[in-house]
């Protein structure tokens, strides 16, 4: 078994300790927001045409897209805590055009519709940028593209295949960079080469996007209730009734945008599992530190291992560094206690200084974690229930910042009941396999994680378990 560059070139323990000494367990993106409006909890009885459960991107995009489709629709959104507090306020802010958690995943599952999916994904990303502009949302949207960097020699072949395949399709948005070229773009002794995706990625400030969408929705007449966990959804009468401890909303239709949290539909309870992903944020870099890494084009970056890192700059010149550990806890629950995992933060800090030894001395100000809604096909699934009165989408698996907008359109199509190009996709019609109940889920997921780690230490070679899961179209990702 080999070692990775992050194990061979470890910084001194004192460098890691010092960098983490003043870190707060707090989400930078939410700390960085201006004061937010106080929104009421749901009390008493209300009527609406459309009620949406969940105030992350999925629910908020759905509200705004529904308003665009019908200016007279009465729309209410009910959020258990505050808008954007969950995955939507704590992610990396990478907006990828892919609707399928990467092209390879989509290609392996729906080869005959991959070109349509590519086209729809790019259209969705373009529309996302246009919506942000139209609604005046200051989300620090930057269409800067993304660099995927190889940090191990065997990954260079993957970059070659990637660039070759996209050139063969006539695409001009994938540029292969050799070692000197990638080092010139971003200076790290660990980078051996890269692919630069020039069009298909953007960056946002996740918290500003979520709260900006909420503001835009309210300005357009959407009623938002916070601190109101929905206990159940009743569809016994003509429409639907969404019920909280303090009130209820009767509506014609409902959208469930509850992501990794327990589904209000029994059929979906085993469809996703929470996988904890960890993030560090540095202090703003000094001018000398900036000059030492280059990175003038500000692309989003990630590396190519199964256990990968993602990293990017903020508007005020910090670096967000996240990923690598993807931790599933027995029982599959979402718990605040899982968010503080010192060994994951130390590992991230260690890997950061292996990647950027010239930044020794930089301190991390924030550390946090979030639950990713992993499903067994690694990309969102959609559906309707209760005689077409309820639509749902979940399972974005770590790539939902842009795909949630597409999901909003799909759910509105489903509620409308008239087939569209979106709802005709196999990707939309088919469902993933559920995860098994415990203890099988934990055994299977942890065995898969262990195998992915071994593959990263063995020139990417996949063992029998991973090959079997690949053949079945199943697995685990973040
Ligand atoms: C650490 C981390 C990093 C990530 N990085 C990226 C990235 O860089 N790029 C990318 O594309 N994706 C990324 N993702 C994934 C992305 O953030 C999610 O796919 C996306 O935010 C999902 O949005 P959502 O609205 O479906 O879910 P959420 O943001 O989780 O919102 C769901 C909301 O529903 C509410 N809710 C749930 N149940 C109820 C109920 N019963 N009653 C009322 N309200 C309820 C919750 O309180 C929550 O606010 C990351 C995720 C994490 C955790």
Tell which CATH architecture fits domain 5-32+146-198+273-374: 2-Layer Sandwich (3.30)
Q: Retrieve residue 300's tokens.
A: 């989003």
Q: Is the CB of residue 406 below 6 angstroms from any atom belonging to ligand 1?
A: no
Exposure b/e, 11-41, CB count within 10 A at least 16 = b: beeebbeebbeebeeebbbbebbeeeeebee
Query: Percent of the chain, pLDDT > 70?
Result: 99
Q: How far away, in angstroms, is 214 Cα from ligand 1 center?
A: 14
Q: Which residues contact 299 (CB under 8 A, 6 or more apart)?
A: 144, 145, 146, 147, 185, 186, 196, 201, 312
Domain boundaries, the chain: 5-32+146-198+273-374, 44-131+205-270+377-429
Query: Percent of the chain, pLDDT > 90?
Result: 87
Q: Give the mean pLDDT of 211-240.
A: 96
| pLDDT at residue 442 in the model | 84
Q: How many CB atoms lie within 10 A of CB 370?
A: 25
Cα-Cα-Cα-Cα torsion 466, 468, 470, 472, nearest 10 degrees, comes to -150
Q: Is the CB of residue 229 below 6 angstroms from any atom belonging to ligand 1?
A: yes
Q: Is the CB of residue 370 below 6 angstroms from any atom belonging to ligand 1?
A: yes
Least confident among 103-107, 116-120, 325-329, 470-474: 470-474
pLDDT confidence band for 55 (50 / 70 / 90): very high
Q: Which atom of ligand 1 is nearest to the CA of 368?
A: 1
Q: Which atom of ligand 1 is nearest to the CA of 228?
A: 43
| pLDDT at residue 450 in the model | 75
| pLDDT at residue 220 in the model | 97
Q: Give the mean pLDDT of 305-330.
A: 94
Q: What is the pLDDT of residues 432-444, one digit of tens each?
A: 999 988 888 888 7
| pLDDT at residue 307 in the model | 87
Q: How far away, in angstroms, is 12 Cα from ligand 1 center?
A: 36
Nearest CA to ligand 1 atom 12: 399
Q: Is the CB of residue 254 below 6 angstroms from any atom belonging to ligand 1?
A: no
Q: Give the mean pLDDT of 372-379.
A: 92
Q: Is the CB of residue 326 below 6 angstroms from any atom belonging to ligand 1?
A: no
| pLDDT at residue 477 in the model | 67
Closest listed residue to residue 391, CA positions, set 420, 350, 351: 420
Residues 49 and 251 sit within 8 Å (Cβ to Cβ)? yes
The HSE-up count of residue 265 (CA atoms within 13 Å, CB side) is 23
Q: Say whether pTM exceeds 0.85.
A: yes
| pLDDT at residue 475 in the model | 67
Nearest CA to ligand 1 atom 35: 54
Q: What is the pLDDT of residues 377-410, one digit of tens each?
A: 989 999 999 999 999 999 999 999 999 999 999 9
pLDDT confidence band for 456 (50 / 70 / 90): confident
What does the alpha-carbon distance between residue 386 and residue 235 come to, in Å, rounded to a whole number?
A: 7
Closest listed residue to residue 396, CA positions, set 415, 374, 422: 374
**24 vs 468, more confident:** 24
Q: Omega of the bond prior to 146 within 30 degrees of 0, cis? A: no
Q: Which helix (H) or strand (E) is 393 found in, with range?
A: strand 390-394
Q: Which atom of ligand 1 is nearest to the CA of 279?
A: 1
Q: Is the CB of residue 42 below 6 angstroms from any atom belonging to ligand 1?
A: no
Burial of 431 (C-beta count, 10 Å sphere; 0-12/13-18/19+)? middle
Ligand 1 pocket test: which of 77, 87, 323 has the largest number of ligand atoms within 8 Å of its C-beta? 87
Q: Retrieve residue 317's tokens.
A: 């010149």
Q: Is the CB of residue 93 below 6 angstroms from any atom belonging to ligand 1?
A: yes
pLDDT of 472 > 80? The answer is no
Q: Is the CB of residue 232 below 6 angstroms from any atom belonging to ligand 1?
A: no
Q: How far away, in angstroms, is 86 Cα from ligand 1 center?
A: 5
Q: Is the CB of residue 19 below 6 angstroms from any atom belonging to ligand 1?
A: no
SS3 215: helix
| pLDDT at residue 165 in the model | 94
pLDDT of 476 > 70? The answer is no
Rg of the Cα trace of the chain?
22
Residues 97 and 166 sit within 8 Å (Cβ to Cβ)? no
Q: What is the pLDDT of residues 72-117, one digit of tens each?
A: 999 999 999 999 999 999 999 999 999 999 999 999 999 999 999 9
Q: How far away, in angstroms, is 257 Cα from ligand 1 center?
A: 9
Question: Which CATH fold would you assign to the domain 44-131+205-270+377-429?
Answer: FAD/NAD(P)-binding domain (3.50.50)
Q: How far away, in angstroms, is 67 Cα from ligand 1 center?
A: 22
| pLDDT at residue 466 in the model | 74
Q: Is the CB of residue 207 below 6 angstroms from any atom belonging to ligand 1?
A: no
Q: Average pLDDT of the chain?
A: 94
Q: What is the pLDDT of residues 121-152, one digit of tens each?
A: 999 999 999 999 999 999 999 999 999 999 99
Q: How far away, in angstroms, is 56 Cα from ligand 1 center?
A: 6
| pLDDT at residue 46 in the model | 97
| pLDDT at residue 199 in the model | 93
| pLDDT at residue 467 in the model | 73
Q: Is the CB of residue 401 below 6 angstroms from any atom belonging to ligand 1?
A: yes
Q: Give the mean pLDDT of 335-364.
A: 97
Q: Is the CB of residue 448 below 6 angstroms from any atom belonging to ligand 1?
A: no
Q: Is the CB of residue 352 below 6 angstroms from any atom belonging to ligand 1?
A: no
What does the alpha-carbon distance between residue 346 and residue 445 come to, in Å, rounded to a whole number?
A: 23
Q: How many CB atoms lie within 10 A of CB 153?
A: 11
Q: Retrieve residue 373's tokens.
A: 């809604």
Q: How far away, in angstroms, is 158 Cα from ligand 1 center?
A: 30
pLDDT of 236 > 90? The answer is no
Q: Give the mean pLDDT of 409-428.
A: 97
Nearest CA to ligand 1 atom 28: 56
| pLDDT at residue 444 in the model | 79
Q: Is the CB of residue 268 below 6 angstroms from any atom belonging to ligand 1?
A: no
Q: Give the mean pLDDT of 280-302.
A: 97
Q: What is the pLDDT of residues 197-208, one digit of tens each?
A: 999 999 999 999
Nearest CA to ligand 1 atom 9: 94
Q: What is the DSSP string of 163-175?
A: HHHHHHTT--SEE
Q: How far away, in angstroms, is 87 Cα from ligand 1 center?
A: 3
pLDDT of 154 > 80? The answer is yes
């Amino acid at each position: 078994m080999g070692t990775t560059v992050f194990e061979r070139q470890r910084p001194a323990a004192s460098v890691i300790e010092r960098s983490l000494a003043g870190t707060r367990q707090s989400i930078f993106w939410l700390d960085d927001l201006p004061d937010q409006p106080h929104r009421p909890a749901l009390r008493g009885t209300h009527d609406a045409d459309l009620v949406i459960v969940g105030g992350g991107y999925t629910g908020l995009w759905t509200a705004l897209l529904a308003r665009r489709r019908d200016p007279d629709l009465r729309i209410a959104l009910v959020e258990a805590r505050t808008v954007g507090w969950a995955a939507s306020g704590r992610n990396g802010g990478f907006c990828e055009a892919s609707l399928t958690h990467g092209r390879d995943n989509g290609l392996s599952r729906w080869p005959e519709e991959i070109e349509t999916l590519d086209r729809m994904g790019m259209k969705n990303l373009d529309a996302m940028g246009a919506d942000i502009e139209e609604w005046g949302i200051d989300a620090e949207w930057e269409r800067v593209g993304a660099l995927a960097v190889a940090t191990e020699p065997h990954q260079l072949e993957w970059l070659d295949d990637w660039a070759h395949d996209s050139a063969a399709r006539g695409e001009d948005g994938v540029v292969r960079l050799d070692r000197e070229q990638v080092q010139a773009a971003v200076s790290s002794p660990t980078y051996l080469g890269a692919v630069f995706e020039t069009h298909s990625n953007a960056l946002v400030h996740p918290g500003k996007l979520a709260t900006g969408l909420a503001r835009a929705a309210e300005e357009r007449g959407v009623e938002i209730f916070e601190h109101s966990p929905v206990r159940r959804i009743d569809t016994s009468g003509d429409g639907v009734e969404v019920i909280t401890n303090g009130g209820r909303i009767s509506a014609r239709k409902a959208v469930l945008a509850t992501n990794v949290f327990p589904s209000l539909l029994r059929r979906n309870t085993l469809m996703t599992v929470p996988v904890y992903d960890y993030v560090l944020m540095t202090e703003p870099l000094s001018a000398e530190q900036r000059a030492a890494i280059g990175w003038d084009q500000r692309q989003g970056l990630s590396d190519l291992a199964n256990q990968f890192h993602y990293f990017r700059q903020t508007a005020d010149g910090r670096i967000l560094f996240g990923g690598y550990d993807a931790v599933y806890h027995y029982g599959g629950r979402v718990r605040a206690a899982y968010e503080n995992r010192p060994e994951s933060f130390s590992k991230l800090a260690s890997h950061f200084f292996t990647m950027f030894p010239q930044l020794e001395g930089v301190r991390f100000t924030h550390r946090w974690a979030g639950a990713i809604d992993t499903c067994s096909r690694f990309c969102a699934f959609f559906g309707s229930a209760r005689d077409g009165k309820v639509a749902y989408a979940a399972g974005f698996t770590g790539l939902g910042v842009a795909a949630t907008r597409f999901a909003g359109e799909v759910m509105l199509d489903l509620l409308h009941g008239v087939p569209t190009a979106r709802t005709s996709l196999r990707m939309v019609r088919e469902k993933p396999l559920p995860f098994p109940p415990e203890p099988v889920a934990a055994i299977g997921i942890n065995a898969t994680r262990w195998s992915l780690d071994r593959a990263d230490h063995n020139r990417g070679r996949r063992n029998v378990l991973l090959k079997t899961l690949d053949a079945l179209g199943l697995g685990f990702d973040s």
